[in-house]
């Protein structure tokens, strides 16, 4: 992780999961003294379109466009091309072969710095969901298989829960970027009220090999958002030795 030289203020990606661009902009202004990486997901993108993405980039920050592209390959390719030359740092796609190939093809010949992340298994997805879909393997095996394949195809990284990050880092090496959602402050990890199933602390995720952590509600619903960010950064710095 240290060899990637990722600044501490970029290790936390704040999920701007809010319904209106004005609210998202207020969160950026409120937090940009401590963090410089923001996630624009489906809800906010539909509300603010590229104006929202451009606004964040123009303030000198990094953006993860988390739309999890999944469609016929040609449609995915054309959609991914819309993200070129906009200063976007990460874009997410579903982690199956045709989707990844189409995304990489769209990026071919464009040296814009856009990195493609394959979504392995959503952190809201649990073992019971696997059984309900008729799958007999474990989530860990499925995540590992998809991550390994994504790396082989040329993907820059994956979105994976911290629970699977340790095996990915151990067996797939340091080249793979691992972005981990489902991060909760230590006191809230097992309170039984979360719609995410595979969650953990920022410190544990980093210890397991994550490069970045995605955090939303634990910050945006906190009485002291900057205090929560500071606490998360202390957890991360303790692992990184900073």
Contacts 24+ apart (CB under 8 A), 76-80: 76/102, 76/103, 76/106, 77/102, 77/103, 77/105, 77/106, 78/106, 80/106, 80/107, 80/116
Query: Does the structure show a pLDDT above 90 at 17?
Result: yes
Do 37 and 14 touch, CB atoms closer than 8 A?
Answer: yes
Each residue of 132-173: pLDDT tens digit? 655 656 777 888 888 999 999 999 999 998 888 999 999 999
Going by C-beta distance under 8 Å and a sequence separation of 6 or more, which residues neighbour residue 213?
Answer: 11, 12, 13, 162, 179, 180, 181, 183, 202, 205, 206, 232, 236
Give the E-state strand segments of the chain in sequence order: 12-15, 37-41, 62-69, 90-94, 115-119, 157-159, 177-180, 212-215
Per-residue pLDDT band for 242 (boundaries 50, 70, 90) equals: low
Who wins on pLDDT, 128 or 199?
Answer: 199
pLDDT at site 21: 97
Cα gap 78→36, rounded to integer Å: 28
Each residue of 69-102: pLDDT tens digit? 999 999 999 999 999 889 999 999 988 899 999 9
**Burial letters for 117-126: b for 16+ Cβ neighbours within 10 Å, e otherwise?**
bbbbbbbebe
pLDDT at site 186: 65
Do 214 and 179 touch, CB atoms closer than 8 A?
Answer: yes
Helices (H), 109-177: 127-132, 139-153, 162-172
Cα gap 15→34, rounded to integer Å: 14
Please name each of the domains of the chain with its CATH number: 69-236 (3.20.20.70)
Active site residues: 68
pLDDT at site 131: 54
Residue 219 is classified by DSSP as H
pLDDT at site 190: 45
Q: Dihedral of the CA atoms 232, 40, 193, 167 (nearest 10)?
A: -60
pLDDT at site 188: 47
Query: Does the structure show a pLDDT above 90 at 43?
Result: yes
């Amino acid at each position: 992780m240290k060899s990637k030289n990722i600044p501490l203020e970029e290790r936390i990606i704040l999920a701007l999961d809010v319904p209106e661009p004005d609210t998202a902009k207020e969160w950026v202004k409120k937090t940009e003294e401590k963090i410089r990486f923001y996630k624009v997901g489906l809800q906010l993108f539909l509300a603010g379109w590229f104006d929202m993405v451009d606004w964040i980039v123009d303030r000198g920050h990094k953006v993860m466009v988390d739309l999890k592209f999944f469609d016929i390959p040609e449609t995915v390719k054309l959609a991914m091309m819309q993200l070129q030359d906009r200063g976007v740092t990460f874009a997410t796609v579903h982690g199956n072969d045709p989707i990844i190939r189409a995304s990489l093809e769209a990026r071919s010949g464009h040296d814009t710095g856009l990195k493609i992340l394959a979504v392995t298994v959503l952190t809201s997805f649990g073992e019971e969901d696997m059984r309900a879909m008729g799958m007999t393997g474990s989530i860990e095996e499925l995540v590992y298989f998809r991550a390994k394949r994504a790396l082989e195809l040329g993907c820059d990284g994956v979105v994976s829960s911290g629970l699977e990050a340790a095996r990915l880092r151990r067996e797939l090496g340091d080249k793979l970027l691992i972005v981990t959602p489902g991060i909760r402050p230590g006191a809230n990890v097992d309170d039984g009220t979360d719609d995410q199933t595979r969650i953990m602390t920022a410190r544990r995720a980093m210890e397991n090999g994550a490069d970045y952590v995605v955090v939303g509600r634990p910050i945006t619903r906190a009485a002291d958002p900057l205090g929560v960010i500071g606490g998360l950064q202390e957890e991360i710095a303790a692992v990184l030795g900073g």
